[in-house]
């Protein structure tokens, strides 16, 4: 798959309000305090752990890893440009391992490897938190071809959820909901910049057609709820 570069590039996913609501959600899942050691796998620009570091001033700076090194990755965390399986193959332990909207980049075999390594990399009572788009009745605004690709990817995610259940066993589920209110103009820019992986392999022509579809289908302001399924595992 091609590399994803614009996921959190000035989108609702990097907005103050999203990050703050997301981190409030995390607070309900984890006893956030300065002694925690956090690893964010597939951290993108590291907006989430950066905001956490600002607030909780962890003794150990959170570590964010990603295969893409964006030039505007947050500076108050430790960023490593590395593939997750390579990085986890070491002795270091964490209290929290966050894997947000990243599992779909893994093959079934590699996801199994990732989970097993993540479990081994947890301190006692450590937690793994996995977030992924909800697979049923997803509300992400799409044009036809994008919808088709997204549905296919969400179907695949359901298989990945089965792998997670089988590997981690004792897990609990919840949902994180964020109400998006974005101008059509901004959303069109996000599509043009291929913000989501179901757009990565489309031709320029398909994106252009898709954008005209979005332009005629939606009003000037686009509103919908972005829902993530949260899978939580505790050692």
Ligand X SMILES: C[S@@+](CC[C@H](N)C(=O)[O-])C[C@H]1O[C@@H](n2cnc3c(N)ncnc32)[C@H](O)[C@@H]1O
Chain positions contacting ligand X, by CB under 6 A? 4, 7-8, 13, 41-44, 65-68, 83-84, 100-102, 105
Helices (H), 58-143: 84-88, 108-120
CB 198 within 8 A of CB 100: no
CB 73 within 8 A of CB 49: no
Cα separation, 146 vs 202, whole angstroms: 9
Ranked by CB distance to ligand X, the top (closest) residue is 42
Instruction: Say which residue the tokens 């959303």 belong to.
Output: 187
CB 48 within 8 A of CB 100: yes
Cα separation, 27 vs 38, whole angstroms: 13
**Residue 41 or residue 128: which is nearer to ligand X going by CB?**
41
**Residue 100 or residue 127: which is nearer to ligand X going by CB?**
100
**Residue 189 or residue 209: which is nearer to ligand X going by CB?**
189
Find the shortest distance in angstroms from Cβ 220 to ligand X. Answer: 26
**Residue 100 or residue 194: which is nearer to ligand X going by CB?**
100
**Residue 43 or residue 214: which is nearer to ligand X going by CB?**
43
Find the shortest distance in angstroms from Cβ 62 to ligand X. Answer: 12
Find the shortest distance in angstroms from Cβ 212 to ligand X. Answer: 26
* Residue 8, φ and ψ in degrees, nearest 5: -115, 30
Cα separation, 141 vs 193, whole angstroms: 15
**Residue 43 or residue 52: which is nearer to ligand X going by CB?**
43
Cα separation, 10 vs 47, whole angstroms: 11
**Residue 12 or residue 233: which is nearer to ligand X going by CB?**
12
Find the shortest distance in angstroms from Cβ 124 to ligand X. Answer: 26
Using alpha carbons, select from 27, 48, 7 the residue that is nearest to residue 193.
Answer: 7
Distances (CA, A) of 32 to 37, 54, 145: 10, 12, 41
Find the shortest distance in angstroms from Cβ 198 to ligand X. Answer: 11
Find the shortest distance in angstroms from Cβ 42 to ligand X. Answer: 3
Find the shortest distance in angstroms from Cβ 30 to ligand X. Answer: 16
Element (H, E) at 232: strand 221-234
């Amino acid at each position: 798959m091609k590399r994803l570069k614009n996921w959190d590039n000035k989108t609702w996913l990097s907005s103050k309000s999203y990050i703050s609501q997301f981190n409030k959600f995390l607070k309900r899942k984890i006893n956030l305090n300065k002694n925690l050691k956090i690893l964010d796998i597939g951290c993108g620009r590291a907006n989430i752990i950066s905001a956490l570091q600002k607030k909780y001033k962890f003794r150990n700076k959170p570590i964010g890893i990603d295969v893409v090194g964006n030039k505007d990755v947050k500076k108050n965390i430790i960023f490593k440009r590395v593939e997750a399986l390579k990085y986890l193959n070491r002795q270091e332990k964490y209290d929290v391992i966050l894997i947000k909207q990243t599992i779909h980049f893994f093959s079934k075999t590699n996801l199994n490897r990732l989970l097993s390594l993540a479990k081994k990399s947890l301190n006692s009572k450590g937690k793994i938190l996995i977030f992924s788009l909800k697979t049923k009745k997803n509300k992400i605004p799409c044009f036809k071809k994008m919808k088709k690709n997204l549905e296919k990817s969400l179907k695949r995610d359901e298989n990945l959820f089965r792998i997670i259940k089988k590997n981690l066993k004792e897990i609990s589920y919840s949902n994180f909901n964020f109400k998006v209110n974005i101008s059509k103009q901004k959303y069109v820019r996000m599509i043009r910049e291929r913000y989501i992986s179901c757009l990565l392999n489309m031709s320029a022509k398909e994106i252009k057609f898709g954008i005209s579809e979005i332009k005629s289908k939606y009003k000037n302001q686009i509103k919908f709820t972005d829902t993530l399924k949260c899978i939580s595992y505790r050692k």
